[in-house]
A and B are shown apart, each in its own frame.
Chain A
Amino acid sequence: MHYDVIIIGAGIVGCACARECATAGLKVAIIEHHIPAAATTAAGMGHIVTMDDSPAQLALTAYSRGLWQQLAPQLPASAEYEACGTLWVAADDEEMAGVSAKQSVYTAAGIASSTLSPDVLASAEPALRRGLSGGFLVPDDAVVYPPASAQYFLQQAQASGTVLLQARVIRAANHSVQLADATILHTGKIIIATGADISLTPTLPIQKRKGHLLITDRYPGLIHHQIVELGYLKSAHKLTADSVAFNVQPRQTGQILIGSSRQYGNDDPGLDQRILAAMLERAISYIPALARVSGIRAWTGFRAATPDKLPLIGPTEDHSVFLAMGFEGLGITNATGAARLLADHLLLRPSAIPLTPYLPERIKQEAYAHA
């Protein structure tokens, strides 16, 4: 059996790539060793968010968010797409002082936003504690349920002929993919989309960055936007220290998803009560009513972090092998954009934004695959 493209990994990124390639007419196989969308994609918050920590990140998130908006009418109800917007809150005047610069950046990128006075903030989210300095609203940001979104991408791909294989890939190089049972599959191109699992690409400088989340029972109307502290960027940027930030999300179910934490050097998927406690304390400090809300389940997930916090999208030195990895905390958002850019590249189509900032070649390394 010969494929045009074999995609390794059926997380949201692999599934989005499969959909883009298959609907463009390519013969695609996607290989997953477990259950589709059950790894990091099942652990993430599903916030579709424009982020301005670098021009390249803003370009990709804005482009990807636009693709999500186009998709929204077709998404099944289970994808729970909700354009609730992101409300960034300023705890003090120093954080508020940064908002006008942030707004200029968003405006220049063509992204709608508005600045909220403390009073407007309080009426937009009455559950927030009093005394905050104001807010910054990005109304077109959204929330999805990632596993169902990935499943939708996969089903679309399958409807266009994509074959889903359940197997573990142990080697991917030079137009061929070897499975754990020694089967070898031949293909034109290979896309590695294995998330935080870098066993196929051990020399890549991708680090696991552990995150905790807690989901509550249903409290419809308690919050209305994804609410994030403006200090979030500071904490998300630290590459060494453990950190927590206030980041809460209203689910369509009326549940509240509480985040977020970042830890390096902890590969244990178990809960770390210390970091979880700090994360929840921080959430309660912003929304005191959360203290008495019933928490149902807490879990962890691993983000795949690159040194410059930008994903790796595009060809490697082995010209048959492409990467779609290293999305850190933005892989749900950027899955649509990354998949489109990769498909454009494979099909030699012009792309809407340049691929250059995300090319793997920027990272010095010897090999991408086991030889």
Chain B
Amino acid sequence: MTHAEVLIVGAGPAGIAAATAAARTSRSVLLLDDNHAPGGQIWRTDSLAPNPRDRHRDAALTSLQQSGAQLLFNTRVCDAPAPGILTTLSGEAITHIEYDKLILATGARERLLPFPGWTLPGVSGAGGLQALTKGGFPIAGKRVVVAGTGPLLIAVAAHLAAAHANIVCVAEQATLTQMAAFASAIASSPAKIWQGIKFRAQLRGAPYHTSTWPIAALGDTHLTSVRLTDGSRTWEEPCDYLACGFHLVPNTELASLLGCTFNGDFVAVDVLQRTSIGNIYCAGEPVAIGGLDAALIQGEIAGLAATDQLQQAQALHQRHATSLQRFVTRLEAAFRLRPELLTLAHPEDIVCRCEDVRFEQLVPYTSWTAAKLQTRCGMGPCQGRICGPATQSLFGWKPTSVRAPLSPVPVSAFIQFDLRTPTAPQEIP
């Protein structure tokens, strides 16, 4: 069994900051991620090669490499079989990793909401289209509508524009007033590097609409246009891609499997980022949707605290807590979903993409458990990661228990989940 004094799950900004801070001590630090390189969502790249356009990222990655933390990629956590042990999968091989301290930095995913046509090829999450582009898809010359809500929209639009996509428009559902309040918050907070509004200049003149949202994606076997509305006027924008996400939801499945206490949808932590379980810390989006700055600072606090550098950890917390909290609150206020978004799906529209469960099939039920059992909603391979937050927004349902494996694994790998040397049960016929 591999052993790490400090094990960090997730190599986005929070995990990178945590690993870097923890490895300053002489302790063994292991940082793992299911991608093939560090960076998480915002700093996702194919390699560790420097990126002249993002010096902040480069600095963070250089410190990480120099810190002495061990890095492990293409590795997914799939179980927490006993206190102090995580089970991981890479390829079809299972490894159990023992830890003294664990830092969860599992980030967030986009909230996707159903609307007519949202399952058409060509429609994806905003971050989803960005990832596809970073994954080698030439977006140059393609007409793209970016829609939904959240600071990610502008970041994605800027990234796609830089890759010479033809950004038809950005449709942000929040009102201009909300956005203005948010913009002034950014200017006055230390959150300058939460890229956000700063990118506007890079949109190359693409229209940026507030109070505007998609009501349908049209096309036969691929997207051909998007129907947008601002509540009074409705129009169509012909396009090849719709990058559409409704802000973020935290990835808290591992924390939930470990039995950490929650505060609403988020993992509850103290000033040192400690969860309800003494040797488990949590930083970044699972704690609050607070963007890059929050992730970096919380990650550093967790890394320091997990290695007994308590004074530095506390000092960091004192220096930043108030402004980070204010930023979280502002983000929440700015990108709150308007009620119209919850009525976009027509009865025949699919809500659960894995199992093709339609909106009308869910209407008779009053809970996630009942709907799941009777309609198969959430029973597919994503196990409700996409339709769970959607039905939570639409119906107020709370998805229930997380179970191992955290994501599907080959049956042969499942056998290796057993911690003991494979001893057969007492009697096998």
What is the CA–CA distance of A292 and B410 in the complex, to the nearest angstrom?
A: 5
> Does A244 count as interface, using CB distance less than 8 angstroms?
yes
> Does A320 count as interface, using CB distance less than 8 angstroms?
no
> Does A257 count as interface, using CB distance less than 8 angstroms?
no
Given A35-B367, A296-B381, are A273 and B429 neighbors across the interface (CB < 8 Å)? no
Given A37-B373, A271-B404, are A234 and B429 neighbors across the interface (CB < 8 Å)? yes
Query: Given A147, A243, A281, A295, which contacts B409 in the complex, CB threshold below 8 Å?
Result: A295
B405 contact set on A, CB distance < 8 A: 295, 297-298
B422 contact set on A, CB distance < 8 A: 277, 281
What is the CA–CA distance of A261 and B376 in the complex, to the nearest angstrom?
A: 24
B48: shortest Cβ distance to chain A, in Å?
Answer: 31
Assess whether B426 is in contact with A242, with CB atoms less than 8 Å apart. Answer: yes
B415 contact set on A, CB distance < 8 A: 277, 280-281, 284
Assess whether B418 is in contact with A274, with CB atoms less than 8 Å apart. Answer: yes
Assess whether B381 is in contact with A245, with CB atoms less than 8 Å apart. Answer: no
B234: shortest Cβ distance to chain A, in Å?
Answer: 36
0/1 string, A290-304, CB within 8 A of B gives 1 = 111111111100000
Assess whether A238 is in contact with B412, with CB atoms less than 8 Å apart. Answer: no
What residue of chain B has the Cβ atom nearest to residue A300's Cβ?
B403
* Residues B412-429 near A (CB distance < 8 A): 412, 414-420, 422-429
What residue of chain B has the Cβ atom nearest to residue A256's Cβ?
B411
What residue of chain A has the Cβ atom nearest to residue B365's Cβ?
A35
* Residues A28-57 near B (CB distance < 8 A): 35-38, 42
Assess whether B425 is in contact with A275, with CB atoms less than 8 Å apart. Answer: yes
Assess whether B427 is in contact with A296, with CB atoms less than 8 Å apart. Answer: no
A280 contact set on B, CB distance < 8 A: 411, 414-415
A322: shortest Cβ distance to chain B, in Å?
Answer: 27
Majority-rule SS of A interface residues: mixed
* Residues A140-175 near B (CB distance < 8 A): 147-148, 151
A179 contact set on B, CB distance < 8 A: none
0/1 string, A213-255, CB within 8 A of B gives 1 = 0101100000000000101101100100111110000000100
> Does A83 count as interface, using CB distance less than 8 angstroms?
no
> Does A335 count as interface, using CB distance less than 8 angstroms?
no
Assess whether B380 is in contact with A35, with CB atoms less than 8 Å apart. Answer: no
B367 contact set on A, CB distance < 8 A: 35
Given A148-B374, A298-B403, are A277 and B418 neighbors across the interface (CB < 8 Å)? yes
> Does A282 count as interface, using CB distance less than 8 angstroms?
yes
> Does A283 count as interface, using CB distance less than 8 angstroms?
yes
> Does B370 count as interface, using CB distance less than 8 angstroms?
yes
Assess whether A296 is in contact with B429, with CB atoms less than 8 Å apart. Answer: no
- A238, A280, A296: residue with the most chain B Cβ atoms closer than 10 Å: A296
A365 contact set on B, CB distance < 8 A: none
A37 contact set on B, CB distance < 8 A: 373
Assess whether B380 is in contact with A296, with CB atoms less than 8 Å apart. Answer: yes
A105: shortest Cβ distance to chain B, in Å?
Answer: 20
Assess whether A298 is in contact with B429, with CB atoms less than 8 Å apart. Answer: no
> Does A117 count as interface, using CB distance less than 8 angstroms?
no
What is the CA–CA distance of A151 and B380 in the complex, to the nearest angstrom?
A: 21
What is the CA–CA distance of A274 and B427 in the complex, to the nearest angstrom?
A: 13
> Does B178 count as interface, using CB distance less than 8 angstroms?
no
What is the CA–CA distance of A169 and B47 in the complex, to the nearest angstrom?
A: 61
Assess whether B411 is in contact with A296, with CB atoms less than 8 Å apart. Answer: no
- B370, B376, B411, B426: residue with the most chain A Cβ atoms closer than 10 Å: B411
What is the CA–CA distance of A238 and B427 in the complex, to the nearest angstrom?
A: 10
A78 contact set on B, CB distance < 8 A: 374-375
What is the CA–CA distance of A298 and B407 in the complex, to the nearest angstrom?
A: 11
Majority-rule SS of B interface residues: loop
> Does B141 count as interface, using CB distance less than 8 angstroms?
no
B417 contact set on A, CB distance < 8 A: 273, 276-277
Assess whether A278 is in contact with B424, with CB atoms less than 8 Å apart. Answer: yes
* Residues B219-253 near A (CB distance < 8 A): none
> Does A16 count as interface, using CB distance less than 8 angstroms?
no
A36 contact set on B, CB distance < 8 A: 370
> Does B383 count as interface, using CB distance less than 8 angstroms?
yes
B125: shortest Cβ distance to chain A, in Å?
Answer: 22
B423 contact set on A, CB distance < 8 A: 274
Given A35-B373, A292-B92, A299-B403, are A274 and B414 neighbors across the interface (CB < 8 Å)? no
- B373, B381, B424, B427: residue with the most chain A Cβ atoms closer than 10 Å: B373
A281 contact set on B, CB distance < 8 A: 415, 422
What is the CA–CA distance of A146 and B85 in the complex, to the nearest angstrom?
A: 36
Assess whether B381 is in contact with A294, with CB atoms less than 8 Å apart. Answer: yes
A295 contact set on B, CB distance < 8 A: 405, 408-411, 414
Assess whether A284 is in contact with B403, with CB atoms less than 8 Å apart. Answer: no
Assess whether A38 is in contact with B370, with CB atoms less than 8 Å apart. Answer: yes
> Does A258 count as interface, using CB distance less than 8 angstroms?
yes
A283 contact set on B, CB distance < 8 A: 411
B92 contact set on A, CB distance < 8 A: 292
A116: shortest Cβ distance to chain B, in Å?
Answer: 20
A127: shortest Cβ distance to chain B, in Å?
Answer: 13
A290 contact set on B, CB distance < 8 A: 411
Assess whether A242 is in contact with B425, with CB atoms less than 8 Å apart. Answer: yes
A219: shortest Cβ distance to chain B, in Å?
Answer: 11
What is the CA–CA distance of A244 and B424 in the complex, to the nearest angstrom?
A: 10
* Residues B64-122 near A (CB distance < 8 A): 79, 81, 92
Given A244-B425, A299-B403, are A38 and B373 neighbors across the interface (CB < 8 Å)? yes
What is the CA–CA distance of A97 and B227 in the complex, to the nearest angstrom?
A: 69
What is the CA–CA distance of A296 and B384 in the complex, to the nearest angstrom?
A: 12
What is the CA–CA distance of A281 and B427 in the complex, to the nearest angstrom?
A: 14
What residue of chain A has the Cβ atom nearest to residue B366's Cβ?
A35
Assess whether A284 is in contact with B429, with CB atoms less than 8 Å apart. Answer: no
Assess whether A277 is in contact with B411, with CB atoms less than 8 Å apart. Answer: no
- B415, B420, B426: residue with the most chain A Cβ atoms closer than 10 Å: B415
A41: shortest Cβ distance to chain B, in Å?
Answer: 9
B424 contact set on A, CB distance < 8 A: 278
A42 contact set on B, CB distance < 8 A: 373
A293 contact set on B, CB distance < 8 A: 410-411
A274 contact set on B, CB distance < 8 A: 418, 420, 423, 425
> Does B369 count as interface, using CB distance less than 8 angstroms?
yes
- 5 residue pairs, one from A and one from B, having the closest CB atoms: A231-B429, A291-B412, A277-B418, A235-B429, A147-B373
24 contacts between A and B (CB under 8 A): A35-B369, A38-B369, A147-B374, A232-B429, A238-B427, A242-B425, A242-B426, A243-B428, A244-B425, A244-B428, A273-B418, A274-B420, A274-B423, A276-B418, A278-B425, A280-B415, A281-B415, A293-B411, A294-B381, A294-B410, A296-B408, A297-B383, A298-B404, A299-B403
Query: What is A's interface to B at a CB cutoff of 8 Å?
Result: 35-38, 42, 78, 147-148, 151, 214, 216-217, 229, 231-232, 234-235, 238, 241-245, 253, 258, 261, 271, 273-278, 280-284, 290-299
